[in-house]
Amino acid sequence: MLATFVIFLREGVEASMIVAILLAYLDRIGQRQHFRDVLLGVGAAIVLMLGGGVAAYLLLTTYAGSRVQTIFETGTFLLAAAVLTYMTFWMQHHARLLSSELRSKAEQALDGRARWGLGLLAFQAVGREGLETMVFTLAIVFASHGKGVIAGGAGGLAVALAIAFVMYRLGRRIDVGRFFTVVGALLMVFAAGILADAVENLQQLRWLPVVGPHLWNTTGTLSESSSIGDVFHTFFGYADRPTAAQLGVYVVYLAVTIALFSRGRRTQRKPVTTAQA
């Protein structure tokens, strides 16, 4: 539940920000007649996300408990971790420029007099967030026992819409960059846990060797199948019987990404300091 809450919160804020920026810009330049195009693009993106997610889930249920399911889960884990990492660093570098980039693309669509230009822009922007959310949700379902997935996603989406409304009303008084930095740091921990799950699956498939015994066994104290254990496993990557490879991938990934993330933050602050000086 916690993992889907954070995922839907993050993706919901970005998607709703994109829509709000486009609509606010069109309203400011007196092009409200194009609101319909933007909303049609958003609707098509939502349909694509829901349709793709349901189709993938139904397809997977036909292979429940089989080797095919394990392979599919492993691929989903690796894809989700890669996309989580990419989008976190992408937003770190583009959060401050997101509004100007969208306005520039909207101007190009209007200059081209393309009837569906703005709709396509909204579809691409929101569709990207929707597909990311679909992949992450599938990864969470595979990594957990499915408890509270829908409730967590609904709660995260509701909070995201509320935050987007506040951002729209307060404008620059909301530090969007800091919001995505905090959420991005949390999602890197989530990505590390997903990678550890992928390693576990690869070892079950015998595509990776299991070197040595399990590092510890806490199934009697805090099992992954328990309610609390499921939360810790899904979001923080907790394992009650981890192998050395699982722990190694988890630690190395976090060490590298946190170092690069911190370096990016310092690099972003340098130009501001120079300009002020």
pLDDT at 169: 65
Over residues 194-202, mean pLDDT:
94
Q: What is the pLDDT of residues 264-274, one digit of tens each?
A: 767 766 554 44
Left if phi > 0, otherwise alpha if psi is -120 to 50, otherwise beta: which for 212? left
For 151, the enclosing helix (H) or strand (E) is helix 149-170
The pTM score is 0.81
Averaged pLDDT of the chain: 82
Which residues are CB-contacts of 126 (< 8 A; sequence separation ≥ 6)? 15, 18, 19, 41, 42, 45, 46
H helices, E strands: number in the chain:
9, 0
Q: What is the pLDDT of residues 209-226, one digit of tens each?
A: 998 899 999 999 999 888
DSSP secondary structure code for residue 29 in this structure: T
Q: What is the pLDDT of residues 97-154, one digit of tens each?
A: 677 777 787 877 776 555 567 888 889 888 888 888 888 888 888 887 666 777 888 8
